[in-house]
Amino acid sequence: MIMNNIYRLFLLNLQPMFLEEPNVEFFEGKDTEKAEKIISSDKTKLLFDFALSASALRDIDSVLEKTAYFFCKILNCDRSSIFIWDKKKKKLWSKVALGLDETIELEPDKGIVGFVFSQKQPIIINDPYSDHRFNPEIDRKTGYKTKNIIAVPLITYLGNIVGVIEGINKLEGEFDGEDLKFAQILSTYAANSIENALLYSEIKKTQEEIVVRLSIAAEFRDKTTYNHLVRMSIYSYLIAREMGFDEDWCEKLRLAAPMHDIGKLGVPDRILLKPSKLTDEEFKEMQKHTIYGYDILKDSDIDILKMGANIALCHHERYDGKGYPKGLKGEEIPIEARIVALADVVDALLSRRPYKEPFGIDEVVDFVKKESGKHFDPKVVSAFLRIIPQIKKVLEKYGVD
């Protein structure tokens, strides 16, 4: 009977957060309302809500933000900081910690956070200024007064330690055993989500760098630069986003774009490296890099490679049908190739080449406008024109070659 009540409260408690009303009748008691009120703000509910929402996030900043927020709510404390273990640097880092704006780094064996990390032990300190591990330096810098601290190692369900979470200044009273229990439960969920997010971000970074490095390698003989490939792929991403494609598609385009010229490795040295103007026949041979690229990337199940194949084949097609290799026109050209065609040309114009100085952004805008409907798809052009400020930022960040 007591269990039955607990279940009821537990279920009532969860239901409004997670679920649409199911199509089956369920609770029908007079005490429903009362029970809901009692329980509506409780910690269990917060914990459940945290576990659910955190496991749905993949971006590390969002996971950290959500974790810190729920940690403060559940433990009823003023501040929460999360320190993440960087295996390579052998340091703990934190982005938004202790009221400081900068990212800070800690040694894994110093201070309270270091103690918790190296001992894999939680700790409650209700009188920090008399604890030798406490560093009052940051209080001095920020003018904040640390009154009490709870710190718990972030250990995943499978036993990997990924960092430490710290709560500062309980709003009423001092941290106690119940706080500790809740902190530890939350910390396991948080650690799982943090580990997932870190892994996800590492894989994404790896993927990006591999694509760009190998694409540039493929253009080894053609002296394309790393930054050109990064910039043109970011422009492609930004234009696609401005055109309303979903984030997943834009992200795939960003990874596919750098591969547009890999077919050049099929072009013989005598043509690719010829210092003088190509004959008509040589130029025809050169144009085949679109087909070679397509052959390298085609027939894959992987979206990025499918997209890459289309881009390799069609990034020299023109909207007016005067491009190569097939002379496709307008919407016959896959949209990913129409976007990359513009992004690639724009970045080439903005760059220094052996035969030309870099264009200014205004000259590029004029050129692109003039080519709207000729070389370029007018819809792509108009999206590009709307994001000039973002293009300028990319140029600032990666420089002009």
Phi/psi at 167 (nearest 5 deg)?
-115, 140
Q: Given the rule CB under 8 A, which of 71-79, 214-222, 326-334, 388-396 is the region that contacts a second copy?
A: 214-222
Q: Given the rule CB under 8 A, which of 24-32, 126-134, 330-338, 343-351 is the region that contacts a second copy?
A: 24-32
**Residue type present at position 44:** T
Q: Nearer Cβ to a second copy, position 31 or 363?
A: 31
* 14 touching a second copy, by CB under 8 A: yes
Looking at residues 265 to 324 of the shown chain, list those that interact with a second copy (rule: CB under 8 A).
265-266, 268-270, 292, 296-297, 300-305
Q: Which of 36, 58, 291, 329 binds a second copy (CB under 8 A)?
A: 58
Looking at residues 180 to 199 of the shown chain, list those that interact with a second copy (rule: CB under 8 A).
180-182, 184-185, 188-189, 192-193, 195-196, 199
* 40 touching a second copy, by CB under 8 A: no
* 58, two tokens: 């993949």
State whether residue 135 is helix, strand or coil: coil
* 39 touching a second copy, by CB under 8 A: yes
* 295, two tokens: 């052959």
* 209 touching a second copy, by CB under 8 A: yes
Q: Which of 55, 103, 142, 279 binds a second copy (CB under 8 A)?
A: 55
Sequence-distant contacts of 282-291: CB under 8 A, at least 24 apart: 287/316, 287/324, 287/325, 288/263, 288/325, 289/261, 289/263, 289/264, 290/263, 290/314, 290/315, 290/316, 290/324, 290/325, 291/263, 291/325
Looking at residues 338 to 377 of the shown chain, list those that interact with a second copy (rule: CB under 8 A).
none
Minimum Å distance from CB 364 to a second copy?
30
Phi/psi at 158 (nearest 5 deg)?
-90, 5
* 3 touching a second copy, by CB under 8 A: yes
* 220 touching a second copy, by CB under 8 A: yes
Q: Which of 61, 109, 217, 363 binds a second copy (CB under 8 A)?
A: 217
- Residue 230 φ/ψ region, left for φ over 0, alpha for ψ in the -120 to 50 degree band, beta for the rest: alpha
Say if residue 358 is preceded by a cis peptide, omega within 30 of 0: no
State whether residue 165 is helix, strand or coil: strand
Q: Nearer Cβ to a second copy, position 217 or 388?
A: 217
Number of residues in contact with a second copy under rule CB under 8 A:
83
Minimum Å distance from CB 50 to a second copy?
11
Looking at residues 240 to 259 of the shown chain, list those that interact with a second copy (rule: CB under 8 A).
259
Looking at residues 95 to 154 of the shown chain, list those that interact with a second copy (rule: CB under 8 A).
121-124
Minimum Å distance from CB 262 to a second copy?
5
- Cβ-contact 316, 325 below 8 angstroms: yes
State whether residue 58 is helix, strand or coil: coil
Closest CA to 158 of 186, 182, 188: 188
* 19 touching a second copy, by CB under 8 A: yes
- Residue owning tokens 């956070």: 113
